[in-house]
Structures are given as structure tokens and as C-alpha cells.
């Protein structure tokens, strides 16, 4: 018998015995889909309970996220999908510890779970953006298709307000976005940068819930900076970097803090603060 037929037989057994004989994640997910199809709520609840109490692996997490979209929307299944997303986000929290080939091989839903995490540890948001471009190019060869996937699935997870001004300028001429989409994202990011800190927080809270996270600063290992450039009396700039009191205390007795890269006159500079 095929997997669907096996799942239906298990569903029938459950309706008579209130128990299941299958114990693997793939088999339980097949039964869950059958129970959803035939609207057997008690079996769905039982499958959810069994799956939530099984050890999570990367394979099982990806299987959970690959359920049919109609099933993913069900309230009873959301604890499962949330657990899968949290597992993937935690596994790849320090993404630099994993071979890039492993991250690039993840399917769209798994990759999105990483990007959505506020706890992702990366040197800067520029690195996140570069990883997104690399993932897109490894999965989609057609430029239009890449642009569509970027606009509809991935752009919302990139924290554009925390990217460097130079990178934002380059994004404006990128063919990885539709022109209208990229203009809106870059203008929004630049406006966010020039707002006073207390205004930034209020502006972020006014955004619709799915969009609020892109204003949240991740745990960057290189500190964001702000650059004010002057053309007269000669080319020069002032670089600002904010450090909270607790961050200064954490540097004691001999810690260091490194800034994100600063592009000045064709040269790349990284500022260092020591105590």
C-alpha cells in the first residue's frame, strides 16, 4: 500500500481503538494529514501530542514545515510548526559555525526560519543580505523568479534599517528586487536611521505585526555605526557608534568592540574601541 492508504488504515484503527501503531515522524504526519482530510479532530489532537513529545531533528522539523498550507494554518498544528521553527532557529543561531553549503542546501521554509530569528548571531545585517542572495542564486537560476521569491518570501526578514548606508545605496540598483519594492525598503531604512532613538521605537510599533521584526536589531558581533560625511572644506566624515552602559561594563578589564566596516574613499576601515 502507498503511504496515503497506510495512513487511512491507521486512521480507521484509531477510530476503533483510540490508539496508533505508527511511531515515526513521517508516518505520523501522513496520519495527521488523513485525519485533517476526513475531519477527525480527535486523531489530529493525538498526532499533535505524539509529535510534540518526540525528539526534534532537522529532518523532522523540515517535514513539519512542509505540510500542506491549509494544514499549516490550522490552530491545532501551530504548536508543531512553531516548535519546528524554533528548533531550526536555535540550531543555526550562530550560523558561522556551520558550513555555508549546509545552510544553502536548506529549503525555503527552513531558510526563512533562520532569517526570522531575532537571536541570529551574525557580524552584521549585510552578511544576512549576502547569504540571502547566495541562497537565491543556488536555488533559482531565473532572475525574475529570484526577484519574485525575494519580494514575496524573504525581503520581509532582512533588517534593512540595520544595514550600512553604502550597502543600501547598492541595493537600489540591484536586479534582485522589483524597483518599487526596493525603493520603498531603502527609503524606509534610511528614514529610520536618521530618526532619534525614541522615535524609532514608536515608528516600529506602528508597523503591522509581521513587519515589526525588521526594525529589531539582531545580536551583531560587529557594532553598527552612523557616518556623517562632509564635502567642504575637504572630504571628511564623523563616525558615531552607540555603546550602552552595560556593554561598556562587559568590556572590563580588557575587552574590545569592533565596528562594522566603514568604506571611506575606496578604503575599508574597521574602528576598534578598547578599555
- Tell me the pLDDT tens digit for each residue of 91-106: 999 998 999 999 999 9
Q: Are residues 166 and 200 in the same domain?
A: yes
Residue at 198 is within a domain: yes
Q: Are residues 61 and 127 in the same domain?
A: no
**DSSP assignment of 103-147:** HHTS-HHHHHHHHT-TT-EES-HHHHHHHHHHHHHHH--SHHHHH
Q: Are residues 211 and 244 in the same domain?
A: no
Q: Are residues 5 and 72 in the same domain?
A: yes
Residue at 99 is within a domain: no
Please say which residue of 204, 221, 238 terminates a domain: 221
pLDDT, residue 153, reads 94
pLDDT, residue 209, reads 54
pLDDT, residue 201, reads 58
Residue at 263 is within a domain: yes
pLDDT, residue 61, reads 98
Please say which residue of 47, 76, 91 terminates a domain: 91
Residue at 110 is within a domain: no
Lowest mean pLDDT among 125-134, 140-149, 215-224: 215-224
Lowest mean pLDDT among 64-68, 80-84, 131-135, 204-208: 204-208
Q: Are residues 12 and 58 in the same domain?
A: yes
Higher pLDDT, 252 or 17: 17
Look at the chain and report how many structural domains it folds into: 3
Q: Are 10 and 2 in contact (CB under 8 A)?
A: no
Confidence of residue 248 (pLDDT cuts 50, 70, 90): confident
Q: Are residues 149 and 238 in the same domain?
A: no
Q: Are residues 127 and 215 in the same domain?
A: yes
Task: Please give the residue range of the domain that contains residue 239.
Answer: 226-274
Q: Are residues 55 and 28 in the same domain?
A: yes
Angstrom distance (rounded) from CA 66 to CA 121: 26
pLDDT, residue 174, reads 87
Per-residue pLDDT tens over the stretch 43-71: 999 999 999 999 999 999 999 999 999 89
Angstrom distance (rounded) from CA 51 to CA 225: 45
Question: Region 13-42: what's the mean pLDDT?
Answer: 95
Q: Are residues 234 and 152 in the same domain?
A: no
Give the 3-state secondary structure of residue 94. Answer: strand
Q: Are residues 133 and 203 in the same domain?
A: yes
Please say which residue of 191, 221, 251 terminates a domain: 221
Q: Are residues 235 and 173 in the same domain?
A: no
Per-residue pLDDT tens over the stretch 166-179: 889 889 888 888 88
Q: Are residues 217 and 237 in the same domain?
A: no
Q: Which long-range contacts does 264-273 make (Cβ < 8 Å, 24+ apart)?
A: 264/237, 265/235, 270/222, 271/225, 271/239, 271/241, 273/241, 273/243
Amino acid at each position: 500500500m502507498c503511504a496515503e492508504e497506510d495512513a487511512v488504515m491507521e486512521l480507521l484503527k484509531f477510530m476503533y481503538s483510540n490508539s496508533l501503531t505508527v511511531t515515526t515522524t513521517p508516518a505520523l504526519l501522513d496520519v495527521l494529514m488523513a485525519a485533517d482530510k476526513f475531519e477527525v479532530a480527535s486523531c489530529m489532537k493525538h498526532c499533535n501530542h505524539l509529535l510534540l513529545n518526540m525528539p526534534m531533528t532537522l529532518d523532522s522539523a523540515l517535514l513539519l514545515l512542509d505540510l500542506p498550507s491549509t494544514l499549516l494554518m490550522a490552530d491545532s498544528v501551530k504548536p508543531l510548526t512553531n516548535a519546528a521553527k524554533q528548533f531550526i532557529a536555535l540550531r543555526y543561531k550562530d550560523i558561522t559555525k556551520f558550513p555555508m553549503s549546509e545552510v544553502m542546501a536548506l529549503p525555503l521554509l527552513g531558510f526563512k526560519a533562520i532569517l526570522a530569528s531575532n537571536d541570529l548571531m551574525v557580524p552584521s545585517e549585510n552578511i544576512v543580505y549576502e547569504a540571502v542572495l547566495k541562497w537565491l542564486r543556488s536555488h533559482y537560476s531565473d532572475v525574475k523568479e529570484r526577484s519574485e521569491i525575494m519580494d514575496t518570501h524573504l525581503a520581509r526578514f532582512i533588517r534593512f534599517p540595520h544595514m550600512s548606508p553604502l550597502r543600501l545605496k547598492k541595493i537600489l540598483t540591484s536586479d534582485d528586487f522589483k524597483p518599487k519594492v526596493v525603493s520603498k525598503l531603502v527609503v524606509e531604512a534610511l528614514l529610520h536611521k536618521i530618526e532619534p532613538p525614541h522615535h524609532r521605537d514608536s515608528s516600529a510599533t506602528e508597523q503591522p505585526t509581521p513587519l515589526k521584526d525588521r526594525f529589531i536589531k539582531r545580536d551583531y558581533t560587529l557594532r553598527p555605526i552612523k557616518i556623517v560625511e562632509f564635502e567642504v572644506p575637504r572630504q571628511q566624515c564623523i563616525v558615531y557608534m552607540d555603546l550602552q552602559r552595560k556593554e561598556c561594563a562587559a568590556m572590563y578589564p580588557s575587552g574590545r568592540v569592533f565596528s562594522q566596516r566603514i568604506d571611506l574613499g575606496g578604503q575599508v576601515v574597521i574602528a576598534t574601541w578598547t578599555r
